Amino acid sequence: MGRGAERHGSKRGARLLVQVAANPACRLMTTAAAFDLPLPTLDDADRPVGEAAEGVSRLAMANGNRFETALWRDELVQRALIEAGLLPKEPVQADFRGDRRPVERLEREVLGFLHAAAQGEAVPDLLCHPPLRLQVAPGLALALTPDYLRLVRADGGTGRYVAGEVKAFHDLGPDTDPLALQAAERQVSVYDLALDAALDALGVRPAHGPEVADLMLRRPHARAFRVALRANRPTRPHKDWFRRQALPALATARQAWLEEQARAGRPPELTALPTHLTAACAGACAAFDWCLARARAAGDLRALPDAAERLAPLTTLTDALTWLDGTAQSQPTGDPALAAVADHLREWSGWAGRLRPVDRR
């Protein structure tokens, strides 16, 4: 599974793959993902209030690891799986949390469990925080850590592990944000992609194995947790999406960077690479506020998504906002649905308003 490849880290690896697949045209972000480089961000003093660091939810930021610790300490994850009939009443577990052995040794142990399960041998029913590795481009592997892998036995006795991820949501039920759910399903599908790759490398992947994963949602309350299990979510559409969008983008970004480095004798400046802002960037990419600030400073609508086609002949942000106020001389002609254009501009002007100055008094 690419033992000589660079190995990039843990939960961030899965989120990076989701981000790249959602916006493969952004050279800055795909290059940062391909080489594990930090994305540019605004100074902390300029960061909008309430924004967390990359990959950290507001719930996690406010409560540290309290939720995660309680879930495993009180065996809420195991209990939810047992009550759903997805684990035996007294499951055999292998817990990799806090394991201080070298990660390569842990990965080999997990691979051993995957291989033994596929051969019908006795293996743990549940692997907690097992390390995985996914080769995503020549010379590049992502380190992945699902919250758990649970064993599923076929009629013939052979087994296959199904990945599971725990996510925190303020609201569980009909009002749960569908886009947030989709992003969570995509993340857990990355782990199923890694399981496919591992079984292929071991030569034991079944021709028609389960292509599903679990999503466990938790709603933290002041005194208790509410856990909602959404088991056996289909992963094939998401995995096909990664193969089509993310993997080629990472390989292309990596090759372009290496060619530029060979030509210039030094690595190119990451912040000089072109960006591609889309509506999906907000709340998903750590560089979003930095990219938006750069677009506003340049005053060029071509830095905004689809602006060149939708807003012609307007070219600057000032022109566009003036048109939105109804005082511009020229009118957009590139999109006959002017209402949609106006909504597009209002969305961007609303995001621009987040970049407010900080009172230092």
Which residue, 69, 65, 128, 66, is CA-closest to 99? 128
Burial of residue 172 (number of CB atoms within 10 Å: 0-12, 13-18, 19+): middle
Q: State how far the Cα of 134 lies from the Cα of 193, in Å rounded to an integer.
A: 8
Residue 216 inside a domain? The answer is yes
Structure confidence at residue 329 (pLDDT): 53
Residue 277 inside a domain? The answer is no
Which residue, 192, 194, 199, is CA-closest to 143? 194
Q: Are 142 and 134 in contact (CB under 8 A)?
A: yes
Residue 289 inside a domain? The answer is no
pLDDT tens for the chain, 361 residues: list them: 333 344 444 556 788 888 899 889 889 999 998 888 888 887 643 444 333 333 344 455 455 456 667 777 778 889 999 999 999 999 999 999 889 999 999 999 999 999 999 999 999 999 999 999 998 887 888 889 999 999 999 877 889 999 999 887 776 777 777 878 888 899 999 999 999 999 999 999 887 778 999 988 877 664 556 778 889 999 999 999 999 999 999 999 999 999 999 999 998 889 888 888 776 676 678 888 888 777 767 666 555 555 545 556 666 666 666 666 665 455 555 544 455 555 555 555 554 444 333 333 3
Structure confidence at residue 6 (pLDDT): 46
Structure confidence at residue 323 (pLDDT): 63
Q: Are 97 and 130 in contact (CB under 8 A)?
A: no
Residue 207 inside a domain? The answer is yes
**Domain around 107:** 6-12+53-238
Residue 228 inside a domain? The answer is yes
Structure confidence at residue 279 (pLDDT): 63
Residue 148 inside a domain? The answer is yes
Residue 115 inside a domain? The answer is yes
Structure confidence at residue 220 (pLDDT): 65
Q: State how far the Cα of 133 lies from the Cα of 10, in Å rounded to an integer.
A: 9
Residue 164 inside a domain? The answer is yes
| Domains: count for the chain | 1
